[in-house]
Structure 1
Amino acid sequence: MIKIKQFTIIKPDDWHVHFRNGKILKTIVKYTSNFYERAMVMPNLSSPIITIKSAKKYKKNILNALKKNSTFTPLMTCYLTIDTDPDDIEYAFYEKIFFAAKLYPKNSTSYSKFGIKKIKTITNVLERMQKIGMPLLVHGEIVDKNMDIFDREKFFIDKILIKLRKDFPELKIVLEHISTKEAVDYIQSVKKNLGATITPHHLMYNRNDMLSNGIRPHLYCLPILKSKTHQEALRKAISSGNKKFFLGTDSAPHYYYNKESHCGSAGIFNSLSSLSIYAEIFEKMHALNHFESFCSRNGALFYSLPENKNTITFIRKSWKIPDKIFVGEKIIIPFLAGKMVKWTIE
């Protein structure tokens, strides 16, 4: 079988990324803006993006970190709390301040302590979002000290998401960074208004990679890596060509000492290598014919946005991922640090 040497696709969008703020933002935003035309920016900062004012300030910080000739567009999201005002949501949506709103179950991931404990507390907000066509992005995990961490996503679907869709059938919902076969099966079973993002790390690795032969803290993320069965279900989903699945890196940088500690932070920084990794996986699945749709078409279609005009070209040329990224004197360890990947982006 002859291997292709290069191919060109519509410039992709990253429908789930964490930029943080301050020095980290200024250092890492280029790794997304260089390779992606748009990105859905997550609002769970240490001081979360809850208000219109904070969203405007955060977007300005992102734009100020870009190159002068950059065409990159950050799409801002609102962090939902029990105090979120439906009128503010509607105004911000129509004024294109907030593109979507994010539902974090309380304490489900990094900086989610202001999240939602019971869905009924934000019913008025969800009703308004459904009415105006504003997308709801969901971190799909139930958090319960008595529940196995590997079952959180499945139980969220069974106990919350199914009812949420029944109560708000016209609300456009994205189940973010899915990690289970149950999530794949549920997404495929729904006819409309439900999509899902899939990360490169959930496609590339499973929990054995994280926990066998020593614990690898730089593979720790939420949702946590699952078994090989679930990894294979995700791979089959992207290689099927189903338009409900699209690219979302969930790239989330932490300084190395917050990862390599007695209580390591959840998050994987993969922005600089994500597209190369996706390309490798699609090629391995003999599914490069679906690669452009996953990266550049499916998300835009789901969000009713135009496809991007620019393109990028992949060349079969190996390159080494840096061992570390410096933020001043501090260090972030990137995903697959020091390893070789097969595809270079021109």
Structure 2
Amino acid sequence: MKTLTITRPDDWHVHFRDGPMMHAVLPHTSADFARAIVMPNLEPPVVTKADAIAYRTRILAALPSEHDFTPLMTLYLTESTEPDDLAAAFEEGVATAVKLYPAGATTNSASGVRDIDKVMPALERMARIGMPLCVHGEVTDSDIDIFDREAVFIERVLDPLCRRLPELRVVMEHVTTKDGVDYVASQPENMGATITTHHLIINRNAVLAGGIRPHYYCLPVAKRDSHRLALRNAATSGDKRFFLGTDSAPHVDAAKQTACGCAGIFTAPNTLACLAHVFEEEGALDRLEAFVSFNGTDFYGLPRNRTKIVLERKDTPLAPAGHIETGDGTVTVFDPMFPIQWNVAHAAGTAPPSLVAKGTA
């Protein structure tokens, strides 16, 4: 196959950051995707309706004029979140979902939830009004092995919550284990799960074997290969509960390549090319459109996009995208460790900003 035409996709989990970083990374998402669920873990976090309005305003001001893109805002759940404010943000179209970070689970999560009982009034209100809850599905207990924290979260937090509030719409974000895949597949269709591009490609060897590679370090951390294969099976299965959430998460190289490097992988510039490669490997190119364009849209109850994009397969691999320059510093782009032969053929005026090839900056 040389070309593949699909409905323009959406990204159901992305980090834009703020300020100069946001101005640099936003166009790499808005060139390819029509909408994206924007994570709220800024400093300070996006907690209230007013915070979400202000952040959305900054995003739209940074958006290239030729890009047709809608940011979908989320609120950061804290133990002092006001249910009335949360409900007003949803009912007025300001916020699409709420994000639950266990305190200390990932970047800028110190304000997250420590006691699930303290946020039950907010969750009960969300269940009544149909507002989705996006969860970072890991416990943070120091005595729990980092590779087991997703499975323990399901057992200790997620399953009891779903039994307590069965009508709550839940997205288990960036699922990384067979445990997570199996749990989501066993649930009613008011539960979904996002799968990232990089977790379909890397396992924990990419991070640790032959030396520590900080640009493959993310949270949740990549697991053993049997889990990666389970994610591939889920993504290519056609099961509508699984959909793309890139978790594209830029950090400047200085913050990654240090004694205590930040977690996050910047995949926005080449996500669709990498996904086409993965789905082609799995003999499932006919299911790529559902994964990137339909399943998440349907879960969130939004209309499917009407425009199309064309993916082209080149005979000669494309030059790898090494990094981008931002006002905050250099950000390395995800290297999938295979030649990229798929390319997004953009309509006029929607080409992403140029990338700096490896070794040229």
Q: TM-score range by the shorter chain?
A: over 0.9
- In the alignment, the residues of structure 2 paired with residue 146 and residue 79 of structure 1 have an alpha-carbon distance, to the nearest angstrom, of 26
Q: Give the aligned partner of residue 205 of structure 1.
A: 202
Q: Report if the CA contact (8 A) 2:274-2:336 is conserved.
A: no
The reply on whether 1:43 has 2:13 as its aligned counterpart is: no
Note the C-alpha offset of 1:9: 0.1
Structure 1 residues 44-101: Cα deviation after superposition (integer angstroms, max 9, x where no partner): 0121101222211110111111122322000000000011000101111111111100
**1:177 pairs with 2:158:** no
CA deviations over 1:95-147 (Å, ceiling 9, x no partner): 11111000000000000000000110001000100011100000000001111
TM-superposed CA distance for 1:339, in Å, is: 6.7
Task: State the Cα distance separating 1:338 from its structure 2 match.
Answer: 9.3
Give yes or no for the alignment of 1:149 onto 2:130. no
Deviation at 1:231, TM superposition (A): 0.5
Deviation of residue 26 (structure 1)? 0.4
**2:76 is equivalent to residue 104 of structure 1:** no
Distance 1:274 1:93, change over 3 A: same
Determine the structure 2 residue equivalent to 1:320.
319
Tell me the equivalent position of 2:234: 237
Q: 2:31 pairs with 8, 31, 34, which one?
A: 34
Runs of 4+ in structure 1 off by over 4 angstroms are none
**Worse-matched range after superposition: 219-228 or 69-78:** 69-78
**Partners of 2:253 and 2:68 in 1: CA distance:** 31
Partner SS for 2:152: helix
Confirm or deny: 8 A CA contact 1:104 1:139 kept in the other structure: yes
Contact preservation (8 Å) 1:320, 1:338: no
1:134-192 CA distance string (max 9 Å, x none): 00000000001111000000000011111110111111000000000000111111122
Which residue does 1:191 correspond to in 2? 188
* Secondary structure in 1 matching 2:340: strand
Residue in structure 1 matching 2:243, options 234, 241, 246: 246
Question: Paired residue for 2:6?
Answer: 9
Q: Give the superposition deviation at 1:321.
A: 2.8
Partner Cα distance (2:248, 2:235) in 1:
19
- Contact preservation (8 Å) 2:48, 2:86: no
The CA distance in 2 between the partners of 1:161 and 1:333, in whole Å, is 34
After superposition, the C-alpha distances for 1:297-340 in whole angstroms (9 at most, x for unaligned) are 00011111110011100001232232221113721111118974
Instruction: Show the 5 A alignment for 1:1-346.
Output: 4-317=1-314, 318-328=317-327, 330-336=329-335, 340-346=339-345
The one-letter amino acid of 1:11's match is: R
Q: How many Å separate the matches in 2 of 1:251 and 1:48?
A: 18
For 1:269, what is the secondary structure of its paired residue? Answer: coil
Aligned to 2:103, the other structure's residue is in SS state coil
Flag the 1:21–1:208 CA change in 2: closer, same or farther, 3 A: same
Please tell me whether the aligned partners of residues 134 and 170 of structure 2 are also in contact (alpha carbons under 8 angstroms): yes
CA contact (8 A) 2:276 2:288 kept: yes
Distance (whole Å) between structure 1 residues aligned to residue 200 and residue 230 of structure 2: 9
Q: How much identity, in percent, do the aligned residues show? A: 47
Query: RMSD over aligned Cα, in angstroms?
Result: 1.1
Q: Does structure 2 retain, via aligned residues, the 8 Å contact 1:321–1:337?
A: no
Q: Distance in 2 between matches of 1:323 and 1:240?
A: 31
Q: Secondary structure in 2 aligned to 1:99?
A: strand
Task: Check 1:337–1:235 CA distance in 2 against 1; reply closer, same or farther (3 A cut).
Answer: closer
Task: Work out the CA distance in 1 between the residues paired with 2:320 and 2:10.
Answer: 21
Query: Does the aligned pair in 2 maintain the 1:76–1:99 contact within 8 Å?
Result: yes
Q: Is the 8 A contact 1:323 1:338 kept in 2?
A: no
Q: Rate the CA distance shift 1:338–1:235 in 2: closer, same or farther, 3 A.
A: closer
- 1:8 is paired with a residue of what secondary structure? strand
Deviations 1:223-262 (A, max 9, x none): 0000001001001111211110000000000000100000
The answer to whether the 8 Å contact 2:49/2:88 transfers is no
Cα pair 2:324 2:331 within 8 Å, conserved: yes
Give the distance between the partners of 2:329 and 2:39, measured in 1 at CA: 23
- Does the Cα contact within 8 Å between 1:220 and 1:267 map onto a contact in 2? yes
